[in-house]
Amino acid sequence: MTGSPASKDVPADVAVSPGASRLAGLLLDTATPLDQGFALAAAHFLSLPRVEIVTAALTTFAPDNDAGWINLGQRAWVTEWLQPGSSCSILPAPDAGPEAALTMPWVSQHAREGVLAIDDIGRLPPEADQDRREIAGCGIHSMVVRAHVADGVMFGSLALGSTQIGPWPHGDVADFRLIHAALTARIALEQARRSLAEAVTTGAQTRETQQHFFASIGHELRTPLTAIIGYTEMLVGAADDLPGDAFAASVSNDGRVILRAGEQLMAVLEDLLSAGRALGGADLREGVAVEAAVADVLHWHRTAARAGDVRLSSTVPPGQQVWAHPAGFRQVLANLVGNAVVHNNPHGSVEVSSQTLIGESGEVRLRVIVRDTGPGLTSEQLGSAFEPFVRFAGASVKGTGLGLSLSRSIAERDGGTIGAESTPGAGSVFWVELPLHEVQPSRPDADAVA
């Protein structure tokens, strides 16, 4: 920067040393631990005649090996490397606490924007008075500093210090730029790795909590609901055995209302428990044979289809597989086929087919399509069809309004999508799209080939 006589711009085209180039390669190699990378960088800088101290700070996470690092509370982890006999030091006592950390507000602000090469701490501008006092108190009279910033996030800083006054050699600053950039890339990668590990751990904990939750629901709600429904059925049966009794007739009518409400609540509970089992398991996706899954689902719905005079068929070819949880995939298909059957017209049909597609990122996907000849949905109805507890059928058609909403959650959990098209009076098309699982051709037996 050029705003202060204490700092100078260094040309960006200055060549770096061969040692700095080799070190940058090591730092970018993930086989080199980040802590070791800092130590290697410090060793390189301390080999330069001007440098007497190298300091490093991490603000977003702790080092893997914190030996030699001082934790300044929630502010940062800091460490330093010194030339033998150097009087420079920025580290507070290990038990000094975060209030002992250097703040350097002026330097910190400008170090976020680029490499700051300060020739003389004493000539910093008046607005840097606090920085000047703090740095001078450490015995440092000139420095090169840059914050580790990636995607707007500050991860820490790296600085070189000297008791000498005067311009920094351009080659030293060029080496600093390259090595600092390599360290910043590694720090950002390490932050991403740790964030991913935390997300995986949190996901596992959430899954375990979810399993406990659904197990509790199954025990705490199903048992009393079963008792309510059972005793109500007994009351209705006993009331029906007393024809002509006004009170018995009232009990019979009210009991049937309780039964319908209890059965509806039990259906909602079973839907939630079924979805909880499908969503709560570990990530055990595998190649699922689509033809076999469709055959299973159609078999499950044969009785309901015959009762509604609906013809079931499939044109899914053999050999196609999707990458999914087998139970979850079958549940989604069961919900789509079940809806197509119960919402169909008499003498109607339900056909299941498949279509290979290319996703937005170029991956191959398979769309399994359920086409019916029912009354269809309006565009307004279709827009809310996947919302929970939304139903468009009459009271005589059983359902909870949760099937499509839960199916969407299951499909998205497996990296898929779900959607629909419909025309009033002309039927509906609902589909689930999942990653295609490429089936590797089996290799012929060596003896057979011979």
Identify the residue with better confidence: 107 or 285: 107
* Mean pLDDT computed over 433-446: 67
Instruction: Label residue 3 by pLDDT band (50, 70, 90).
Output: very low
Average model confidence (pLDDT) across the chain: 83
- Cα distance between residue 64 and residue 42, in whole Å: 17
The torsion defined by the Cα of 158, 63, 79 and 50, in degrees rounded to 10, comes to: -40
Q: Please calculate the CA angle 85-169-110 and round it to the nearest 5 degrees.
A: 90
Specify the 3-state DSSP secondary structure of 90. Answer: coil
Paired with 431 in beta bridges are 369, 419
Considering the chain, what percentage of its residues have pLDDT values greater than 90?
Answer: 39
Would you say residue 103 has pLDDT above 50? yes
Structure tokens belonging to residue 98? 């975060």
pLDDT computed for residue 174 by the predictor:
93
For residue 89, give every residue at least 6 positions away whose Cβ sits within 8 Å of its Cβ, in sequence order, or none: 53, 80, 82, 138, 139
pLDDT computed for residue 234 by the predictor:
87
Would you say residue 449 has pLDDT above 60? no
Considering the chain, what percentage of its residues have pLDDT values greater than 70?
Answer: 81
Would you say residue 68 has pLDDT above 70? yes
Kindly state the DSSP code that residue 123 receives in the 8-state scheme: G
For the chain, give percent helix, strand, coil, nearest 5: 45, 20, 35
8 A C-beta contact, residue 175 and residue 139: no
For residue 50, give every residue at least 6 positions away whose Cβ sits within 8 Å of its Cβ, in sequence order, or none: 160, 162, 164, 168, 169, 172
Q: Please calculate the CA angle 117-121-127 and round it to the nearest 5 degrees.
A: 100
Instruction: Label residue 259 by pLDDT band (50, 70, 90).
Output: confident
8 A C-beta contact, residue 174 and residue 14: yes
The sign one gets for the Cα dihedral 262, 264, 267, 268 is negative
8 A C-beta contact, residue 304 and residue 341: yes
- Cα distance between residue 12 and residue 5, in whole Å: 19
pLDDT in tens, 219-229: 667 677 778 88
* Mean pLDDT computed over 54-82: 86
pLDDT in tens, 322-375: 999 888 899 899 989 999 999 899 999 999 999 999 877 778 999 999 999 999
Residue 317 Ramachandran class (φ > 0 left, ψ -120 to 50 alpha, else beta): beta
- Cα distance between residue 52 and residue 450, in whole Å: 73
Specify the 3-state DSSP secondary structure of 394. Answer: coil
Per the listing, tokens 């910093």 go with 124
Structure tokens belonging to residue 55? 């300091």
Instruction: Label residue 100 by pLDDT band (50, 70, 90).
Output: low
Q: Quick count: other Cβ atoms within 10 Å of Cβ 289?
A: 18
Instruction: Label residue 385 by pLDDT band (50, 70, 90).
Output: confident
| List of domains in the chain | 18-198 (3.30.450.40), 284-450 (3.30.565.10)
Highest mean pLDDT among 66-75, 231-240, 403-412, 414-423: 414-423
pLDDT computed for residue 2 by the predictor:
45
Would you say residue 397 has pLDDT above 80? no
Specify the 3-state DSSP secondary structure of 117. Answer: strand
Structure tokens belonging to residue 225? 């609901």
Specify the 3-state DSSP secondary structure of 354. Answer: strand
Of 244, 414, 209, the closest CA to residue 332 belongs to: 414
Would you say residue 300 has pLDDT above 80? yes
Specify the 3-state DSSP secondary structure of 369. Answer: strand
Kindly state the DSSP code that residue 429 receives in the 8-state scheme: E
pLDDT in tens, 139-185: 899 999 999 998 888 899 999 999 999 999 999 999 999 999 999 99
Kindly state the DSSP code that residue 433 receives in the 8-state scheme: E
* Mean pLDDT computed over 295-312: 92
Identify the residue with better confidence: 203 or 65: 65
Of the given ranges (5-19, 61-75, 287-301), which has the lowest mean pLDDT? 5-19
